[in-house]
Each structure stands twice: as structure tokens, then as C-alpha cells.
Structure 1
Amino acid sequence: MLHKVIHIGQSIKNLVDHQGIKIDRICKFFGQDEDFVNNIFESSSIDSDMLLKWSKLLDYDFFRLYSSHLILYSPPAAVKKNKENSPKVAHFRKNIYTQEIKDFIMKQIISGKMTQADVVKEYSIPKSTLHRWLQKNLPDS
């Protein structure tokens, strides 16, 4: 689910289908009609309050999709800019990678879709961090 483009309505619909939740229950939860629900499914973005309600209804953190996107695709220039403005303050990004992100990256490497160098270049993940993940997740050869 970690893509550059997030279509939140499709993500919500996929989870609704996966959990087998009936449209009637959703309509009752929101106090809206079926057209409202279908419009949400077709929307590429929705209001944050509405997204919070969907997160509660489906017991899933949809905001994590956006957080993961920022971690993977945010420009590295933002990190450099922060360092220039306050050189005395250390900038740590430790433990920012969720297990979902780690699994996604590992699948890319194991499947051969990306090399380790590609991952480091595309997502700005430090080589040492990537090697640590590989040591923990790959069986001994």
C-alpha cells in the first residue's frame, strides 16, 4: 500500500470490502445515505475529520498512509535545511520507520524489484540502517 500516489477513497473501500462491513452500517455510523459513502470511495482526498471517523469505524490508522509517504518520498533537502539553520542541534531520524515501511522495503529487495543501492537512492535510507534490516530479516546463507 506504500505508493507515491494515495487514493484514500480506494484505500477505504478496499478495507471495507476486506472487513465485509455492510453499507447500511456505514450509513448509520455517519448518519448519511449510500451516495455519500460511494462519493467517499471515489474521492482521492477527504477532510481530516472525516478520515479520523473512517479510522475509528474501520479500526485502522489511515493517517499512517500519509506518514509513510512522507518518510519515503519527502525531499532530503528539508533535512539539510534544518541542519543549516541550527548547526548546534543534532537531528535524529531514529525509529521513524514503521514495520510496514520496513516490510515494504524488504519485499522490494527480496523480489528483485529494487537493489539495495536503489533503495538508498530513492528513499534516502542510510546504508547502515538497510544492512541492519537485512541482517535481521534474511536467513543466514
Structure 2
Amino acid sequence: MKEIHIGSLIKKRVEELNIDIKRIISFFKIYSEKDILNQYASSSIQTDDLLKWSKLLEYDFFRIYTQHIILYAPVGKVDSTLSPKSTSLPNYRKNVYTKEIIDYVLDLYTKENKKIQEISDEYNIPKNTIHNWIKKYIT
């Protein structure tokens, strides 16, 4: 997904679980039905609200953004003066590939006949990693 419309994804999950709007309003406490419908229409949602939606709907909506970053974020220049420990924030590796991302990349390779080099260039995934996935999941 290159474009993320989080409101429509939340609405889809609510419909899948068949959750009544009154339960949602009760869960959020301060929102009216109009506020909930506005969130469905919104392409972005505040993180505290997204966390509540994730808990209510038992789905990690943040992972959608994480996968987007892994697939579409440009590789930045490495500043040799900064070490990974130079922040007080948690340090997460970018190269944490979920099963969905692996499947997506393997579909590009098998169904769309993209070359490993093309996939590597487009999504900044090491060629060796793609080769390992092919060995593990295809052959």
C-alpha cells in the first residue's frame, strides 16, 4: 500500500468484526457517533486514538505504517559521527521483515517476474536476503 487511508481500514475492520457503534462510543468515552464517522473518513488519526483502535479491534494498525516505511522509505545517508547508541529513544532495526512483506516480495519475483536486482533497488532489500527467502519459501 503506497497510500494509506487509515480511517477506511479501521472502518473495514469494524465491519469485519461487526462491532456496534454504541460499543465503540462507549470504548472511546468522549466521542459521539459523528466523531467516529469522521475518523472513518479521515486519512490520518492521532496516535493515541490509533492505539485505542488497535486495542479495541485487536489489530496492530501501526504495523501498516511500519511496513510502508520498510518498503517505501528512501535509504538515508549514514552519518558516521552518529552512533546507534546516541539516542535515548529505543533503537529498532529497519530490516524487520514481516511475513506479509516477504510474501509481497516473493510475489513480485514469481508472479510479476521482477528480477532480484530490481526488487533490491526499488525496496532497498539486500539481494542476499531475497535469495534466502527464495531458497526458504519457494524451492
TM bucket normalised to smaller: 0.7 to 0.9
Report the secondary structure of 1:81's partner residue. coil
Match of 1:25 among 20, 23, 26: 23
Shift of residue 104 of structure 1? 1.9
**Matches for 1:1-141 after TM superposition, within 5 Å:** 3-31=1-29, 32-76=31-75, 78=76, 80-82=77-79, 84-86=80-82, 93=93, 96-112=96-112, 114-138=114-138, 140=139
User: For residues 12 and 121 of structure 1, what CA distance do their matches in structure 2 show?
Assistant: 32
After superposing the two structures, state which structure 1 stretch, 42-51 or 99-108, moved more. Answer: 99-108
Report the secondary structure of 1:96's partner residue. coil
Runs of 5+ consecutive residues of structure 2 not aligned to the other structure: 86-91
User: For residues 45 and 94 of structure 2, what CA distance do their matches in structure 1 show?
Assistant: 30
- Percent identity between matched residues is 44
The Cα offsets for residues 40-80 of structure 1, whole Å up to 9 and x where unpaired, read as 1100001100000000001111111111111111111x2x3
What's the TM-score once normalised by structure 1's chain length?
0.81
Counterpart position of 2:89: none
The residue type paired with residue 96 of structure 1 is V
Shift of residue 107 of structure 1? 2.3
Runs of 4+ in 1 over 3 A off after TM superposition: 92-95
Runs of 5+ consecutive residues of structure 1 not aligned to the other structure: none
Aligned length: 131
What's the TM-score once normalised by structure 2's chain length?
0.82
Structure holding more helix per residue: 1
After superposing the two structures, state which structure 1 stretch, 29-38 or 129-138, moved more. Answer: 29-38
The Cα offsets for residues 67-102 of structure 1, whole Å up to 9 and x where unpaired, read as 1111111111x2x323x3358x9xx95851122211
1:72–1:37 CA distance, 2 compared to 1 (3 A): same
Report the secondary structure of 1:70's partner residue. helix
The residue type paired with residue 5 of structure 2 is H
**Relative contact order higher in (CA < 8 Å, ≥ 6 apart):** 1
